[in-house]
Amino acid sequence: MGQDREERRQVSCRQGAGQRPQVHGLPVNYRHAFHAGSAADVLKHVVLLETLDLVLQKPKPLFVLDTHAGEGLYRLQPEGEADEGIRRLWGRRGEWPILGGYFEAVGRFNGTRLRDYPGSPLLISERLRPEDRLVAVEEASGAHAALQQVLRSPHSQIFLGNGYHALKALLPPRERRGVILIDPPYERVTERSTLLTGLKTALQRFRQGIYLIWYPIKDKRDAERLVAVLSALGDHLCVELLTWPADVKSRLNGSGLLILNPPYGLKKRLGEVVPTLAQILTRDGTPRYRVR
Ligand SMILES: C[S@@+](CC[C@H](N)C(=O)[O-])C[C@H]1O[C@@H](n2cnc3c(N)ncnc32)[C@H](O)[C@@H]1O
C-alpha cells in the first residue's frame, strides 16, 4: 500500500496538460472518441491482445502499464472512423477465426449489435488474471473521469497524470515482468522527443520490459525516421498496416507499432494475423503491411 501511495504521488504531478486549451478536461484538438474503432485502433488492439496472450502463458504475475489510457469505452459515432475499422470486420467476423480472440474481446462490451468500442485499458483488464496488475495513466481530467466509471477491477489502478512520468515512477515493477503500451496522440510537436527520452529512461530502469509503441503513418519518411530511432534501442519487431498507399494524401494512411523485446512467437503469430487484417482493411484493394 505504501508503495502504491508513493506511485500515485509521483505520477500525479501533472505537467503539460495545462499548456493546451481544454474542454471538459479534454484537449480541444484531440478526442479519441472520433477515432475509436478505426483501422489504427484495430491493428493496435489486435497486436496488444496477441502480445498479452503469449506473455500470459507463463504463470508468473504480470504488470501492464498503459501510459496514454484514454476514456476506456467509446460509443461508436455514426460518422466516426470505425466505418474504416471495426465496422468493416464486425458483420463478417465469422469468416476470420484467426481474429476470434479480438472479436470475442470487443463482443464482451456489446450485445448482438456493435454499439461500443473498448479501449486499451478495458481490453487489457479483461485479459489479466487476478495475480496480474494494470496501471492506466491518463492526462486529461475528463477522459480520466470517464475511465474511472468504466474500469473497475481489483487489479487495475487509474492515475491522472503524465504517462511519460509514469515510465520513471512505476518502473521497474515489483513483478519484474511487464508490458508497457505507449499510445500518444502525436499532436504536440515535441511528442517524438518526449517519447524517446521517456523510453530511454524506461529502458534504463526496466531493460527486459516489453514495450509497444504506437505511431501514425501520414508521411512515410517521418514514420521511417521514428522507426529507425526506436529500433536502435534494442531487439524489436515492427508491424505496420497501410489502408491507403503511402503517397495518397489522406488524414492517416496507416499506422504501426514498434515492439521492443517482443515475446517469443509474436513475430510468427502476427505474420499470420496482420496479412488478414490488411486484406480486410485496405481501402483500394491492395493489402499493404509489414511484420519484421
Ligand atoms: C490515442 S488516445 C489513447 C487510446 C487508448 N490507448 C486506446 O487504445 O484505447 C491518447 C490519450 O492520451 C491522452 N494523453 C495525451 N498526452 C498524454 C500524456 N502525456 N500522458 C497521459 N495521457 C496523455 C489523451 O488525452 C488521450 O486520451
Section 102-122 average pLDDT: 95
What is the model's pLDDT at position 246?
Answer: 79
C-alpha cell at 162: 503524465
Write out the binding residues for S-adenosyl-L-methionine.
45, 68, 120, 138, 162-163, 183
Section 7-15 average pLDDT: 37
Compute, in angstroms, the gap from residue 161 CA to the centroid of ligand 1: 10
CA angle 215, 39, 144 (to 5 degrees): 65
Of residues 208 and 3, more confidence is placed in 208
* Residue 261 CB contacts under 8 Å (≥ 6 apart), including other chains: 208, 209, 210, 211, 234, 235, 236
Q: What is the DSSP letter of 11?
A: H
C-alpha cell at 62: 504480470
Compute, in angstroms, the gap from residue 185 CA to the centroid of ligand 1: 6
Q: What mean pLDDT is reported for the chain?
A: 90
Q: Which sign, positive or negative, has the C-alpha torsion 44, 276, 272, 244?
A: negative
What's the residue count for the chain?
292
183 is catalytic: yes
Name the nearest CA neighbour of 45 among 246, 233, 255: 255
Question: Is the CB of residue 144 below 6 angstroms from any atom belonging to ligand 1?
Answer: no
What is the model's pLDDT at position 182?
Answer: 98
Nearest CA to ligand 1 atom 18: 162
Question: Is the CB of residue 137 below 6 angstroms from any atom belonging to ligand 1?
Answer: yes
Give the tens place of pLDDT for each residue, 116-154. 999 999 999 999 999 999 999 999 999 999 999 999 999
What is the model's pLDDT at position 114?
Answer: 96
Question: Is the CB of residue 69 below 6 angstroms from any atom belonging to ligand 1?
Answer: yes
Nearest CA to ligand 1 atom 26: 70
Could you give the C-alpha distances from 155 to 25, 69, 135, 176, 255, in angstroms and in order?
A: 26, 16, 9, 16, 30
Section 188-197 average pLDDT: 96
Is it the case that residue 242 has pLDDT exceeding 80? Answer: yes
What is the model's pLDDT at position 187?
Answer: 92
Res. 77 pLDDT band, cuts 50 70 90: confident
Q: What is the dihedral of CA 141, 143, 147, 150, to 10 degrees?
A: 130
Q: What is the DSSP letter of 291?
A: E
What is the model's pLDDT at position 30?
Answer: 60
Compute, in angstroms, the gap from residue 48 CA to the centroid of ligand 1: 16
Compute, in angstroms, the gap from residue 186 CA to the centroid of ligand 1: 9
What is the model's pLDDT at position 251?
Answer: 76
Q: Which domains does the chain have, with CATH numbers?
A: 2-291 (3.40.50.150)
Q: Give yes or no for a cis peptide into 27 (omega within 30° of 0).
A: no
Res. 78 pLDDT band, cuts 50 70 90: confident
Q: How far is CA 165 from the centre of its chain?
A: 17
Of residues 27 and 221, more confidence is placed in 221
Q: Alpha helices of 36-85 — where are they, by DSSP H? A: 39-55
* Mutation pick for ligand 1 pocket among 139, 212, 215 (CB with most ligand atoms within 8 Å): 139
Section 103-117 average pLDDT: 94
